């Protein structure tokens, strides 16, 4: 496993060791001991799986009282995955990092608690998996506005008109969002 830092130190790109031959491939997407040895001593309580058509933009979501850490990956299709730092005490508060996750590159992205998270599906039938460190609590979920100019996310929207849920269309700008200490 190779861990690649991003411009925001706590956001990590994880490239698993892939063993392949003419039959296909094998990789470990999660091993508690291996991740702990790499400094990521995590306890996951929930696995999620979503499928999206091309152009679906989900996010930017976070829970304020019981924040979730998320280990995310794509197993079919492709997505541009984004996290925004919502920790006021962080030198990277309000900054974002994005990574291309595809079935072909098998890359994973670690998004720790304290970040808003979202993704743009780049292909029809994109299957997105994520392991969470806290359970989903719909009464605690918040949506940061996906296109807030104060954040300035450079979504790869060439030829794509994003499809958003009503909740995501009504996202809050960073200036008015609940944030973390």
Label residues 132-152 b or e (16+ Cβ within 10 Å = b). bbbeeeeebebbbbbebeebe
Task: Please say whether the beta carbons of 60 and 51 come within 8 A.
Answer: no
Model pLDDT, residue 157: 97
pLDDT at 16: 87
Q: Give the contacts of 99 (CB within 8 A, at least 6 positions apart).
A: 6, 13, 80, 81, 107, 109
Report the distance separating Cα 27 and Cα 17, nearest Å.
6
pLDDT tens digits, 17-37? 899 999 988 988 998 999 999
Report the percentage of the chain scoring pLDDT > 70: 100
- Alpha carbon distances (Å) from 70 to 24, 47, 67, 93, 150: 27, 9, 10, 18, 24
Domain span including residue 128: 9-17+28-176
Inside any domain, residue 4: no
How many domains does one find in the chain? 1
Q: How far is CA 39 from CA 35, 148, 176, in A?
A: 6, 33, 34
Residue 97 counted as domain residue? yes
Is 86 within the bounds of a domain?
yes
Say if 36 falls within a structural domain.
yes
- Report which of 142, 133, 140, 137 is spatially closest to residue 68, judged by C-alpha positions: 133
pLDDT per residue as tens digits for the range 127-181 = 999 999 999 999 999 999 999 999 999 999 999 999 999 999 999 999 999 999 9
Among residues 41, 17, 8, which one has the least CA distance to residue 108? 17
- Domain assignment present for 2: no
107-133 residue pLDDT tens: 999 999 999 999 999 999 999 999 999
- Whichever domain contains 52, its CATH number is 2.60.120.10
What is the predicted pLDDT for the residue at 45? 97
What mean pLDDT do residues 85-95 have? 98
Other beta carbons less than 10 A from residue 179's beta carbon: 20
DSSP state of 162: -
Catalytically annotated residues: 61, 130
Q: What is the pLDDT of residue 17?
A: 86
How confident is the model at residue 115, as a pLDDT?
98
Q: Is residue 181 part of a domain?
A: no
CB atoms within 10 A of CB 123: 16
User: Residue 48 has what pLDDT?
Assistant: 97
- 34 inside domain: yes
């Amino acid at each position: 496993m190779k861990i690649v830092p991003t411009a925001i130190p706590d956001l990590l790109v994880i490239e698993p060791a892939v063993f392949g031959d003419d039959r296909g491939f094998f990789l470990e997407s999660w091993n508690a001991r291996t991740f702990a040895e790499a400094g990521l001593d995590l306890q996951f309580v929930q696995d999620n799986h979503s499928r999206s058509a091309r152009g679906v933009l989900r996010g930017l979501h976070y829970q304020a009282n019981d924040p979730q850490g998320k280990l995310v990956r794509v197993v079919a299709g492709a997505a541009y995955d984004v996290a925004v730092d919502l920790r006021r005490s962080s030198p990277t508060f309000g900054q974002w990092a994005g990574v291309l996750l595809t079935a072909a590159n098998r890359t994973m992205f670690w998004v720790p608690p304290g970040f808003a998270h979202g993704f743009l599906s780049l292909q029809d039938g994109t299957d997105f998996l994520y392991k969470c460190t806290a359970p989903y609590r719909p009464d605690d979920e918040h949506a940061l506005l996906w296109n807030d100019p104060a954040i300035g996310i450079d979504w790869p929207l060439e030829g794509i008109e994003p499809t958003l849920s009503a909740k995501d269309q009504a996202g809050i700008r960073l200036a008015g969002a609940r944030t973390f200490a």
